[in-house]
Amino acid sequence: MATREPRYSGILVDNYDTLLQAWPHSGEMHRRLGKTIATHFRKHKGKAINVVEIGSGRGEATKYILEYEQRSKVIAIDPSDRMQEELATNFKSYISQGRLFPIRTKVLDCLELCAGQMDVLASAWALHNFPREERRKILKTGYEAMFPGALYLCMDKFVSDDPRKERRSLQVAVDRYRSISQKNKWPAGLAEAIIEHEVQDHQEPFVMRENEALQDLRDAGFSKPRIVKRIERDALVIAYKK
Ligand SMILES: C[S@@+](CC[C@H](N)C(=O)[O-])C[C@H]1O[C@@H](n2cnc3c(N)ncnc32)[C@H](O)[C@@H]1O
């Protein structure tokens, strides 16, 4: 069977720092994700907090998961060689301490292997790269793999279910990429590539509509799914396994 090329690859991965210029709130959202784990497990007596992070990239959220919760151990899944190399270079000491395990395994395979051992399933700007049906499978399998009391966290582009508002948020993103790419003289082709990706992110099967996404979590068995922070199109969604 042919392997599908990851959606987020090539010029986008090669210029990730540059792309982050368009989203100055990214640090705040990543930090909030890490802090939420530490807060949730404050009274937890366990020695380790086992986290699986989907699409960890170079470790923008991983960093805060590891820093804020000293007991966290993170399996960081990402298919991109470039992202994995940067993660390994940036977080060498966490790898040698046995707190960070970068892997390229398929998400569903990893979740099946983690059955009954996972305290947190997390992702930042990664889940939208999976078609909705695949996301629903990931949620279901993830739910089965979690301990009771476990936490689900997803920071991503959750657009409005209202088509007019959804189109408006796409326009804001496109305008932002156009103006910043001109002002900061981005490499040729980068703005076009990210705008094409962004347009697809707003279409089936990738679009993550807020209410649909919360319903997908309920369908998988999660309780109390809700948005705990939003900045522009980006939101942090939280849910629990009872
Ligand atoms: C926009 S980047 C986000 C990286 C990082 N989580 C962050 O917040 O900066 C999207 C990441 O999802 C990863 N990705 C794409 N397809 C994936 C898949 N099928 N499984 C796991 N990760 C995937 C990409 O390689 C990339 O690192």
Position in ligand 1 atom list of the atom nearest CA 19: 1
- CB of 8 closer than 6 angstroms to any ligand 1 atom: yes
Domains of the chain, earliest start first: 24-158+206-240 (3.40.50.150)
Neighbours of 242 (CB within 10 A): 9
Q: At what angle do helices 210-220 and 132-145 cross, to 10 degrees?
A: 40
Which residues contact residue 238 at a Cβ distance below 8 angstroms, ignoring those fewer than 6 apart? 36, 151, 152, 153, 224, 225, 226, 227, 228
Does the pTM surpass 0.85? The reply is yes
Query: Residue of the nearest CA to atom 25 in ligand 1?
Result: 80
Give the position of tokens 């993103």. Answer: 173
pLDDT tens column, 162-181: 999 999 999 999 999 999 99
- CB of 34 closer than 6 angstroms to any ligand 1 atom: no
pLDDT tens column, 49-80: 999 999 999 999 999 999 999 999 999 999 99
Query: Residue of the nearest CA to atom 16 in ligand 1?
Result: 6
